[in-house]
Amino acid sequence: MNRWMKNIQQKLHNEQGGMSILTVSTLAFVIVGSVFLFYYFTVFIEKRQAQNVADAASLTAVQEVKKQYELAMQEKAEQIIQDYLEKLDEESSESGSSGSSSSSPNHSNSSGGGHYEGNAGGHTNGSGSTGSNSDSGSGSGGDQESDREEQIKEDIDTKKLEDILIDNEFDVTTDWMLVVKEPYFEEEFTATQNGDLLYDRMRQYANQIGAAARQAIDSNGGDTSEGSLTFPVEGEPKFKLAAARTLKLEKLGIEEDIFAASAAGIGSKDVPIDVSTKPEFTINW
């Protein structure tokens, strides 16, 4: 009887010990699992935040690139219009000089006749001759203006640009796109030439574009100590921006950078751009 009771007590003791080990193991598994879940959930959130940082920086960089590119296009359009108008003025002046030269013998005879008759009969015809010369000069100037206007109408297809040039009211800040889209100047704004201008402008203002991207990264809680912007991407007028956000879990002793990338295009249906032959370059910070 006593032996039977001892066997029962020993079995109960062993089962309690087994339950204690199972409980401790389960608790440890739950704790470790909770830590891993917390870590991966935090990493997921930080990756989303890092992507937001990259997207914001990419948008800011695009705006800066477009601003610099439009300024370059405006400068080119302004120079093209200036050269075009100067060419018209030179042609009008040459035409006027040619007309004056061909009519000079008649003016000489008229002057001689007037002078002669003035000596014989008075000063009236002399004054009349002067008035005639003045009218002739005025008519010559009017003819030059008329020729200039007719040439503009013949060259320029866009009615709005035509009127602006005739009235001498060209404003590069508002009218530059009219020049870019005007068929008469299409050889000045081919896809290749536009691509060359964009590429050169980006290299020229690389520091300024990079600074704008870094400022956006900092404003959105990103890490400005490391990042890059690459242009062009696969021969297309777009760039890829890489940005980072630092993950810190002090209680777990974890600190690491989480990177994200964002791509953005700079093309426009109104302004064709070809950078397919341009080598990639990267702005680092």
Q: Render the burial of 98-130: b for 16+ CB within 10 Å, e for the rest.
A: eeeeeeeeeeeebeeebeebbeeeeeebeeebe
Q: Compute the average pLDDT of residues 212-237.
A: 94
* Structure tokens given for 252: 């777990």
| pLDDT range class, residue 9, cuts 50, 70, 90 | low
Give the chain's mean pLDDT: 81
Between the alpha carbon of residue 134 and those of residues 32, 88, 172, 223, the distances in Å are 104, 24, 37, 76
Between helices 2-121 and 172-181, what is the axis angle to 10°? 90
Contacts with 15 (C-beta within 8 Å, 6 or more apart), sequence order: none
Answer with the residue of higher pLDDT: 164 or 24.
164
pLDDT value of position 185: 97
Whether the model pTM is above 0.75: no
Going from the C-alpha of 265 to that of each of 61, 67, 109, 191, 230, the distances in angstroms are 11, 14, 71, 15, 12
Q: What is the pLDDT of residues 223-235, one digit of tens each?
A: 999 999 999 999 9
Interval 234-245 mean pLDDT: 93
Task: Quote the pLDDT of residue 119.
Answer: 38
Residue 226 dihedral angles phi and psi, to the nearest 5°: -150, 130
Q: Please identify which residue in the block is written with the tokens 């010990």.
A: 17
**pLDDT tens digits, one per residue of 113-164:** 333 333 333 333 444 443 444 444 455 556 778 888 999 999 999 999 999 9
Distance, CA of 185 to chain centre: 21
